[in-house]
Chains A and B, each alone.
Chain A
Amino acid sequence: MPLLFFLIVRFIPTFMSLRLSLFDWNILREQQPFVGLENYRTLVADEKFGQSLRNTALYTLFGVPLQIGLGLALALMLSRVVALRGLYRALYFAPYVTPIVAAAWVWQWVFSPQFGPVNTVLGWLQLPPQPFLTSPDQALATTAGLVVWQNLGFQVVLFLAGLAAIPRSYYEAAEIDGATGTQSFWRITLPLLNPTIVFSVVTGTISYLQLFTQVVNLNFTDQGGPLGSTLTVAVYIYQMAFGRFQMGYASAITVVLFGIILAITLLQLRFLTRRYDT
């Protein structure tokens, strides 16, 4: 019975999307002509799609390593302190439970070129004010910063749990053998954290490849940032399907996105989990 639910809500729509992508499907018209692979041909030549793909790759390559690196660094520090650990953990976690829309508003206000506190602080440091979200060069990084800020707490909690699962005796044994702290980290901590890191990389990548809400809410008026500099694949799909009602074309893009997610996830699982098999 619940399997039926998954069938109706997930699997059948997936095949429907595949089918839709072969039609010039527009919900506002009566006729929905079959066009075969025409949508995919258009896609290859579509410059905006290319841009959205490049941006999505940038978000992922920038955001995933940053949130995992920072998360791991904070978790390592937190695992060394005893007093107030729970409080720190809770404070870092707060942005993760914050509604994205509200967080996006606050981010926009904090980084506002004229009235934002960030530029005020830069002014105190004798640095020139920055345009942030209003500049094609900085908008993507500022948006990625919001996503990292929101996800960081989750990463910290995850890595803290992973670190707590490593038996203390391993470290004690390493110490008796005269290993330095750095050696212990590379030889014990990292290999044993591998499952947690793989989980983080895979789930993080999947979510970055589908980045939508933060981007839309930081630029609700034109949805793609200055000169399309923050446009992601997911936002482009939304614009095509629900802005222009070109459902067929949008479906073709979703099929490509699905293919990319599937390929990257499988590659990651294959190469990351094998590394420490000893």
Chain B
Amino acid sequence: MTVAASAPRKRVETRTLLVYAALTVGVILTLFPFAWMLLTSLKSFQELFNLSFLPSQPTLDNYRQVLTETRFLQWFGNSLLVASVTTASVLFFDSLVGYTLAKFDFPGKNLVFILILSTLMIPTEMLVIPWFVGVTDIGLTQSVPGAYFSIMFPGLISAFGVFLMRQFFDTLPNDLLEAARIDGMHEFGIFWRIALPLVRPALASLAIFTFLGNWNAFLWPLIVIQQPQFRTLPIGTALFNGEAGTQWGLIMAASSLAVIPVLIVFAIFQKQIIEGIVLTGLKG
């Protein structure tokens, strides 16, 4: 990009080749652990500890065991439920709050925004102890919906999402909303039918980030989940070791099963994810 146009062509080409070579080496190093995970998951127990790169007789036996002899599918379902509900809730509330902060004037507006942003600096470790004491005191984890709710509640609204949505709604022209007001549309209708569809890219990236964050959440679920049937995927796999006594083949198969769906989702929504990072990074 910044290579001088006046430079002789030959030098430019060598340089580009060098850049590609460096990038490729980097990619290989980055992806190597993934390749190793997949290959190990296909090895039979006998083959696990010899260091050949490729399994001599690939087998799906580890996968069969993970799916039939562990609670893997249950963990997967729990994670799916928790991540979906929190994502839906965050999308609704964060866009509503972001819209209000961007398009309405009310006393103390900036203070509210600063307060919401400042919560990002409070470490989770500081909050989990009071959360735990509170949840235990009201006996929330005793019922099934209560147990799920106690896993989810910290993630139902996200400060980061409020910030993101406010940045996006800020860019909408006010005349557009005024025009709708003059036409006699009520405020919620304007938000729902005019403003929201215009910020669809932001909603997509917020959805993905929230989903990923909750799909991978670890500290709070580890603390609050007391019964095995409520374990989410990260907690289930983390405690796997205790149950199975480091069965590497099974662990690698479980890891592959946990990673592959996420990578597929990422491949599909790559554009939105990157756009989301771009917008928060540049406007942050």
Contacts and interface: CB of A to CB of B under 8 A. Distances in A.
Interface of A: 2-3, 5-6, 9-14, 16-17, 20, 27, 74, 77-81, 86, 88-95, 97-103, 105-107, 109-110, 114-115, 117, 120, 149, 152-154, 157-158, 161-162, 165, 168, 171, 175, 181, 184, 195-196, 199-200, 206, 209-210, 212-213, 216-217, 220-221, 233-234, 237-238, 241-242, 247, 250-251, 254-255, 257-258, 261-262, 265
B92 to A, nearest CB: 10
Nearest to A202: B284
A204 to B, nearest CB: 12
A250 B136 CA distance: 17
Contact of A13 (B3, B20, B126, B270): B126
Given A97-B212, A161-B282, A199-B284, A77 B154 contact: no
29 contacts: A2-B157, A6-B116, A6-B159, A9-B127, A20-B133, A77-B23, A79-B1, A80-B2, A81-B23, A90-B266, A91-B31, A92-B30, A98-B262, A99-B234, A99-B262, A101-B237, A106-B36, A106-B255, A117-B32, A158-B281, A161-B282, A162-B282, A165-B282, A171-B2, A213-B234, A234-B123, A241-B132, A247-B129, A262-B121
Contact of B26 (A17, A74, A181, A195): A74
A173 to B, nearest CB: 12
Interface of B: 1-4, 16, 19-20, 22-23, 26-27, 30-34, 36-37, 40, 48-49, 51, 53, 93, 96-97, 112, 115-116, 119-134, 136, 153-154, 156-157, 159, 162, 212, 215-216, 218-219, 223, 233-234, 237-238, 241-242, 248, 251-252, 254-256, 258-259, 262-263, 265-267, 270, 273-274, 277-278, 281-282, 284
A234 B125 contact: yes
Given A5-B156, A6-B115, A162-B281, A99 B19 contact: no
Given A99-B258, A102-B237, A154 B277 contact: yes
Nearest to A188: B2
Nearest to B281: A158
Contacts of B22: 77
A162 B283 CA distance: 10
B51 A120 contact: yes
A2 B97 CA distance: 7
Contacts of A9: 127, 131, 153-154, 157
Contacts of A86: 270
Nearest to A120: B51
Contacts of A154: 277
Given A6-B159, A105-B251, A261-B123, 15 more contacts: A5-B157, A9-B154, A10-B122, A14-B122, A93-B270, A94-B263, A98-B259, A99-B234, A101-B234, A107-B33, A114-B49, A152-B30, A157-B277, A206-B120, A212-B218
A191 to B, nearest CB: 15
Nearest to B235: A101
B138 to A, nearest CB: 13
Contact of B133 (A80, A175, A195, A247): A247
Contact of B130 (A17, A79, A221): A17
A181 B121 contact: no
Contacts of A14: 122, 126-127
A249 B119 CA distance: 23
B126 A90 contact: no
Nearest to B29: A149
B12 to A, nearest CB: 10
**Interface pairs A-B: 9 shortest CB-CB:** A102-B255, A13-B130, A161-B278, A254-B126, A16-B130, A10-B119, A213-B218, A101-B234, A158-B281
Most central of B30, B93, B262, B263 by chain A CB within 10 Å = B30
B280 to A, nearest CB: 8
Most central of A77, A102, A110 by chain B CB within 10 Å = A102
Contacts of B223: 238, 242
A80 B234 contact: no
Given A92-B26, A196-B282, A265 B129 contact: no
Contacts of A74: 23, 26
A206 B121 contact: yes
A254 B266 contact: no
A84 to B, nearest CB: 8
B238 A101 contact: yes
Nearest to A198: B284
A157 B277 CA distance: 7
Nearest to B31: A91
